[in-house]
Amino acid sequence: MALSQQSGILQQGASEERGENARMASFVGAVAVADLVKSTLGPKGMDKILQSMGRGQEVTITNDGATILKSIYVDNPAAKVLVDISKVQDDEVGDGTTSVVVFAGELLREAELLVNQKVHPMTIIAGYREACDCARSVLELISFNNRSDPALFRADLLNIAKTTLSSKILTVDKEHFANLAVDAILRLKGSGNLEAIHIIKKTGGTLQESFLDEGFILDKKIGVGQPKRIEDARILVANTPMDTDKIKIYGARVRVDSMAKVADIEAAEKEKMREKVRKIIDHGINCFINRQLIYNLPEEMFADAGVMAIEHADFDGIERLALVLGGEIVSTFDNPDTVKLGHCKLIEEIMIGEDRLIHFSGVALGEACTIVLRGASTHILDEAERSLHDALCVLKETVSDARVVFGGGWPEIRMAKAVEELASRTPGKKALAMEAFARALRALPATICDNAGLDSAEIVANLKAAHGAEADSRMGVDVVRGEAGDMAELGIYESFRVRQQVLLSGTEAAEIILRVDDIIKCAPRKRG
């Protein structure tokens, strides 16, 4: 470091850390981030308040690992790797975002001890890799699959949803929400298209009042003086300007020499709009939904024709509506015969709390549904939405890959056992790394215990003993009673995909950080 600064190789303000220093910096950074989210793990995990730096100082309360890490500003490059990993976990499987960071952090903590004992990082990596392969095959072996039996499969899904939700704010009503989520997912019939599930948040009421609606709810207003209730609706979903239709030919401009002509052209413009509206009405529709604004003139015309017109449904809304109603998104109106209209049995305006929403029921695509969340404050609603999203993602993954494992640290204990057996058969220093891997795996159930205020050493030791005594023991951490308990009886299940992803990403992240022996920070860009 000193050398490169003396000779002025790097820019001013840049720094270079090598060897031990670099390794130390990355260990410290990564472990710090892992410790930060550690306390949110498990059913008794605590929440964090995040205050945004921007104007308004918005406050978010959450215990979702990915959300926390996304919002904090980290300067340490190694910590950034962990933040990234949790983001990917969120994108890929939606849950386990905290677990993956805690696991990677534990791996690094163990690695630090080994490095201090003069084990070469490459040896540690080799050991971790082998241990990871072993753990993975064990995980595959112990997973089970109930897809063939719909009733059991549903029970599995329900249990998974409950397990996921139990660590979130929804834990009080987890039964209710688990049912909501499973119903919603099963409606998708395996298509896994989460877009068809629409979540609407409305403050007021209690979480318990949240419900699943089998239709589609659009948070928009119906135009003035138009019917508020339509049966057997024929719907045209459009994306077209309904304010002033601009001339798109480049360079066109209006230049007139008298006021009379201005009036003429204005009239022509109006006529153009009238004609457009007429064309739209000629489609034989009684509901018109547009992505863009609808001005008063066309709105009035629609009202005269008894057509319900809904303006300004945003792009997502339009796509989803088109999907749900089975219509196409229309932008030209010259060929009414070939346009595919959307249909639904009933459109009506409903009240939720104090807001009026538009409710489409009896839609063509039976997959769609809307979950309306109610809650006392926006913070609760936001967190509820995040939790529900997690649950939905996990359920979706489970529907596509029906393998399931028990929760409560059960797979970790099993994997740790297998890895330790492998270590005892492996010659050389790699075995040390494998043992460390097993310890890192066991740290996950230990953290769950710690967060619940339990004696983690005692419980994990009991678990270890239980699994050692009986090869296919189902013991895991029972947080409620504060002891080792039978996971099958408690109904604590988790998705296989989530656990596998935690294992693989965690190991990968640890490996990346371990491989580094030199950190070069460029001079920060001057912000002018």
**Residues 64-103 close enough to bind other proteins by CB under 8 A:** 75, 77-78, 80-81, 84-85, 87-88, 90-94
CB of 470 to other proteins, least distance (A): 33
CB of 283 to other proteins, least distance (A): 13
Q: Is 325 in the site for other proteins (CB under 8 A)?
A: no
Q: Is 329 in the site for other proteins (CB under 8 A)?
A: yes
Query: For residues 325 and 79, what is the distance between their CA atoms, to the nearest angstrom?
Result: 46
Sole window of 214-222, 278-286, 374-382, 503-511 interacting with other proteins (rule: CB under 8 A): 503-511
Closest to 477 in 3D by CA, of 499, 462, 495: 462
Rule CB under 8 A: choose which of 183, 209, 328, 401 binds other proteins: 328
Rule CB under 8 A: choose which of 332, 377, 400, 424 binds other proteins: 332
Q: Is 129 in the site for other proteins (CB under 8 A)?
A: yes
Q: Is 488 in the site for other proteins (CB under 8 A)?
A: no
CB of 511 to other proteins, least distance (A): 8
Rule CB under 8 A: choose which of 183, 300, 421, 517 binds other proteins: 517
Tokens 């459009």 locate to 238
Beta carbons within 10 angstroms of residue 330's beta carbon: 21
Query: For residues 333 and 248, what is the distance between their CA atoms, to the nearest angstrom?
Result: 17
Beta carbons within 10 angstroms of residue 451's beta carbon: 20
Closest to other proteins by CB, 77 or 205: 77
Sole window of 18-26, 168-176, 409-417, 453-461 interacting with other proteins (rule: CB under 8 A): 18-26
Beta carbons within 10 angstroms of residue 409's beta carbon: 28
Q: Is 364 in the site for other proteins (CB under 8 A)?
A: no
Binding mask of the shown chain, residues 396 to 425, with x at each position contacting other proteins by CB under 8 A:
x-----------------------------
Binding mask of the shown chain, residues 210 to 249, with x at each position contacting other proteins by CB under 8 A:
-----------------------------xx------xxx
Longest dimension (CA), the chain: 99
Q: Is 293 in the site for other proteins (CB under 8 A)?
A: no
The answer to whether the CB of 270 falls within 8 A of the CB of 300 is: no
Q: Is 1 in the site for other proteins (CB under 8 A)?
A: no
* Interface with other proteins in residues 189-208 (CB under 8 A): 194-195
Burial class (CB in 10 A: 0-12, 13-18, 19+), 217: buried
Buried-state track 362-376, b at ≥16 Cβ within 10 A, e below 16: ebebebbbbbbbbbe
Sole window of 50-58, 107-115, 260-268, 342-350 interacting with other proteins (rule: CB under 8 A): 260-268
Closest to 326 in 3D by CA, of 313, 343, 312, 310: 343
Q: Is 503 in the site for other proteins (CB under 8 A)?
A: no
CB of 223 to other proteins, least distance (A): 21
Q: What is the DSSP letter of 46?
A: P
Q: Is 350 in the site for other proteins (CB under 8 A)?
A: no
Q: Is 172 in the site for other proteins (CB under 8 A)?
A: no
Query: For residues 248 and 243, what is the distance between their CA atoms, to the nearest angstrom?
Result: 14
Estimate to the nearest angstrom the gap between the alpha carbon of 287 and the chain centroid. 34
Closest to other proteins by CB, 425 or 526: 526
Closest to 115 in 3D by CA, of 17, 16, 19: 19
Beta carbons within 10 angstroms of residue 61's beta carbon: 15
Catalytic residues: 64, 97-98, 390
Sole window of 117-125, 299-307, 371-379, 483-491 interacting with other proteins (rule: CB under 8 A): 117-125
Sole window of 107-115, 377-385, 476-484, 510-518 interacting with other proteins (rule: CB under 8 A): 510-518
Q: Is 140 in the site for other proteins (CB under 8 A)?
A: no
Q: What angle do CA 101, 134, 422 make, to 5 degrees?
A: 115
Residue 39's SS3 state is coil
CB of 23 to other proteins, least distance (A): 9
Closest to other proteins by CB, 26 or 63: 26
* Interface with other proteins in residues 262-281 (CB under 8 A): 264-265, 267-269, 272
Query: For residues 253 and 251, what is the distance between their CA atoms, to the nearest angstrom?
Result: 6
Q: Give CB contacts under 8 A, 24+ apart, made by 57-63.
A: 59/379, 60/379, 60/382, 60/383, 61/379, 61/383, 62/382, 62/383, 62/386, 63/98, 63/167, 63/168, 63/169
Sole window of 57-65, 321-329, 357-365, 430-438 interacting with other proteins (rule: CB under 8 A): 321-329
**Token reading at 102:** 């805690």
**Token reading at 146:** 């109930």
